[in-house]
């Protein structure tokens, strides 16, 4: 049991500290739209991770099929990231609040859209796919209880660290000036474009990569 917990913490830490488009998106949504929007995005990412873990452990044949479509997933994920980055960089209007305003423009379907954005950004990241499927295949020789504890600890740790990022971003967002928020959004947009181009480069030149 201790070995499974330590393995889960190690896996969770590797994902939590990895630099990928998700971390920039978490910060952007939390600063721009507040705590609930950041949590919605994080839950979408977490649901995707859970889905990949379940698929990786329950359907080994599906893993082979998924790897066969890895290039198409990479192209789709790269295109999505570039499109989101360009939109955030050139078209999205930035607003800041004091924290006292009511989020009048944010309703359930808006949060659902943010949740879906988090899910798709993670789902179409080949690095995430390769990470989870590799770990699931590698853990196939261990007992069921070991895998349940290991993946449970890993997923819980990653979700906790993502929520912490949302909390920190929400705490500081009311202290930021409009210029600072605009700069952060530009950094997030450029980062997504860069990650999208890296994914496309990976597909074209078949370069191995990971990143959450």
Percent pLDDT > 90 in the chain is: 11
Name the band, by pLDDT with cuts 50, 70 and 90, for residue 46: very high
Tokens of 100: 């006292």
Has residue 76 been placed in a domain? yes
Has residue 211 been placed in a domain? no
Please determine, for residue 39, whether its predicted confidence score (pLDDT) is greater than 60.
Answer: yes
* Residue-wise DSSP of 69-110: THHHHHHHHHHHHHHHHHIIIIIPPP----S-S--TT--HHH
Q: How many domains, the chain?
A: 1
Has residue 65 been placed in a domain? yes
Name the band, by pLDDT with cuts 50, 70 and 90, for residue 86: confident
Residue 184 DSSP code? H
Please determine, for residue 101, whether its predicted confidence score (pLDDT) is greater than 50.
Answer: no
Q: Which residues contact 20 (CB under 8 A, 6 or more apart)?
A: 125, 127, 128, 195, 211, 212
Has residue 212 been placed in a domain? no
List pLDDT tens digits, range 163-195.
998 888 877 776 766 666 677 667 767 766 776
| The overall pTM is greater than 0.75 | no
Name the band, by pLDDT with cuts 50, 70 and 90, for residue 1: confident
Identify which has the larger pLDDT, 44 or 137.
44
Average pLDDT over residues 13-42: 79
- Provide the residue range defining the domain that includes 66: 2-205
Has residue 146 been placed in a domain? yes
Average pLDDT over residues 50-64: 72
Average pLDDT, the chain: 75
Distances from the Cα of 95 to the Cα of 29, 32, 64, 141, 154, angstroms:
12, 7, 45, 51, 35
């Amino acid at each position: 049991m201790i070995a499974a917990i330590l393995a889960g913490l190690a896996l969770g830490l590797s994902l939590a500290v990895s630099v990928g488009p998700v971390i920039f998106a978490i910060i952007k949504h939390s600063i721009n739209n507040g705590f609930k929007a950041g949590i919605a995005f994080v839950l979408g990412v977490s649901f995707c991770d859970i889905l990949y873990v379940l698929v990786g452990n329950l359907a080994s044949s599906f893993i082979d099929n998924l790897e066969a479509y890895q290039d198409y997933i990479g192209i789709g994920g790269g295109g999505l990231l570039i499109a989101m980055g360009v939109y955030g960089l050139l078209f999205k209007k930035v607003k800041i609040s004091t924290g006292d305003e009511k989020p009048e423009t944010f309703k359930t379907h808006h949060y659902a859209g943010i949740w879906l954005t988090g899910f798709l950004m993670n789902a179409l990241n080949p690095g995430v796919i390769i990470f989870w499927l590799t770990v699931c295949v590698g853990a196939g020789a261990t007992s069921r209880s070991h895998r349940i504890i290991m993946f449970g600890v890993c997923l819980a740790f990653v979700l906790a660290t993502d929520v912490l990022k949302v909390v920190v971003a929400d705490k500081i967002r009311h202290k930021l000036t409009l210029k600072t928020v605009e700069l952060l959004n530009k950094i997030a947009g450029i980062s997504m474009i860069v990650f999208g181009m890296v994914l496309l480069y990976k597909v074209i030149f078949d370069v191995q990569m990971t990143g959450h």
